Amino acid sequence: MEFKTIRLKFTNCFLIPVEKKYLLIDTGYEFEWQDFVDGLRKNNVQINDIKYLLLTHHHDDHAGLLNNITGINPDIAIIASKLAKEYLAQGRHVNFPGAGYINKRIAFVLKLRSIFNKNWTHIFPKFIMRSHDILIENDCKLIDLNINLNGKILLTPGHTRDSISLLLDDGYCFTGDAAANFLQFLGSKYCVISVNDLDDYYNSWEKIIDNKALIIFPAHGNSFTVDKLVKYLRKNKKQNMVIWKQ
């Protein structure tokens, strides 16, 4: 499957051809609007060419531009976890007891980032899901959603409760933050920087592996082969996490 990539400052967004238009995966931060528009232009894609927008989860670096995009093309159908409906309406990250950074080194670096980067607020414009949007409750094939694309949506919680991934029949898996490929020098081990539930996170890795994924396309960092998930499965430990105060 050939697809297009929009690389923003922090987030990879993907454009997958479907029904003579595109399925967009994630959007980037609110402040990245011009970068997003420039990325579309470089790929010769217009916002009106987008038919579906699959939201891997509700965080600000993935959902920040929902209102901008649907304001121009309101016919776009948002595909998201049923849980995302409530979270998007709050316009902020929703965390639960036990959530935190995966280790002390990453916690230290991210604390510095929060001091020097005033855009890093975990707040985004509220978005209200509409009647033609598609809410996912269980793993499902795209064809069962009347989307003419060979693949399936997998519930992959752990980073957030509403995390979902798109797995195409060719083995390409677009995980959002259900896996990542950055800050390896800080011991991330292909895990994203923070999780709500580490057990759920690695259970989602097992699901991705069991469903025959071959190449992982994360929201952060370069693609990598699924054997990295096999190798580093459950290598991060709960006792090494820095748990956030509730």
Contact call for residues 79 and 153 (beta carbons, < 8 A): yes
Residue 200's domain comprises 4-243
The one-character DSSP state at 13 is E
pLDDT by residue, tens only, the chain of 246 residues: 799 999 999 999 999 999 999 999 999 999 999 999 999 999 999 999 999 999 999 999 999 999 999 999 999 999 999 999 999 999 999 999 999 999 999 999 888 877 677 777 899 999 999 999 999 999 999 999 999 999 999 999 999 999 999 999 999 999 999 999 999 999 999 999 999 999 999 999 999 999 999 999 999 999 999 999 999 999 999 999 999 986
Return d(Cα 8, Cα 170) in angstroms, integer.
Answer: 26
Q: Which two tokens stand for residue 98?
A: 């036990």
The CATH number that applies at residue 141 is 3.60.15.10
Return d(Cα 7, Cα 52) in angstroms, integer.
Answer: 19
Q: How many domains does the chain have?
A: 1
The one-character DSSP state at 149 is S
